[in-house]
Amino acid sequence: MKSILTALVALTLIFTACSGDDSQQRADSSETEEQGLTEFELEHGIGPITERVSLSEEPDEDLVIRGRDIYEMKCEMCHNMEGRMVGPALGDVLERRSAEFVMNFILNPQGMTRNHPEGQRMLQEYMTAMPFQNVSEDDAKALVEFLRDYNMNN
């Protein structure tokens, strides 16, 4: 019985020592693999926007007006353009984040908060999860155009 116990302890030590290298290799693997996110998702967020969004050089004026209306109806209660509120200021968000990231956060706030490192960081900082505001991809693009126009003109 004592020799079986000794053998089991020895096997456990050998297994642990051998798996230590594997654990180190896994620890050294890229952040992307650890989080299960692609490079695109890390940079541009998790959601329905899975490739770069085509934006014209100048914001589309019709979309700017539509985006402003959506912002005033669905975003303004928690976000100022300048200065912190319930959520972060949005006036310079497109200097900090890609259009795709902003759209994915708008379209998938729960997934971003749960599964994206930046969404998790923002939840810790602001202590409030952004709710889904029942917007479409077209609405999210209009909001981006509004934010682009605001940023260019202020």
pLDDT at 116: 98
Cut 0.85: pTM above it: no
pLDDT at 58: 96
Cα 134–chain centre separation: 18
Contacts (Cβ under 8 Å, ≥6 apart) of 124: none
Per-residue model confidence as pLDDT tens digits over 2-39? 554 444 444 343 333 444 444 333 333 344 444 799 99
Per-residue model confidence as pLDDT tens digits over 90-145? 999 999 999 999 999 999 999 999 999 999 999 999 999 999 999 999 999 999 99
User: How far is it, in rounded angstroms, from Cα 56 to Cα 4?
Assistant: 73
3-state secondary structure of 99: helix
pLDDT at 2: 52
User: How far is it, in rounded angstroms, from Cα 105 to Cα 115?
Assistant: 11
User: Where are the domains positioned within the chain?
Assistant: 1-33, 37-153
pLDDT at 26: 37
Q: Per 3-state DSSP, what percentage of the chain is helix, strand, and coil (rounded to 5)? A: 65, 0, 35
pLDDT at 1: 53
User: What is the amino acid identity at position 121?
Assistant: R
Per-residue model confidence as pLDDT tens digits over 29-76? 344 444 799 999 999 999 999 999 999 999 999 999 999 999 999 999
Superfamily in which the 37-153 domain is placed by CATH = Cytochrome c-like domain (1.10.760.10)
Residue at token pair 């959506």: 70
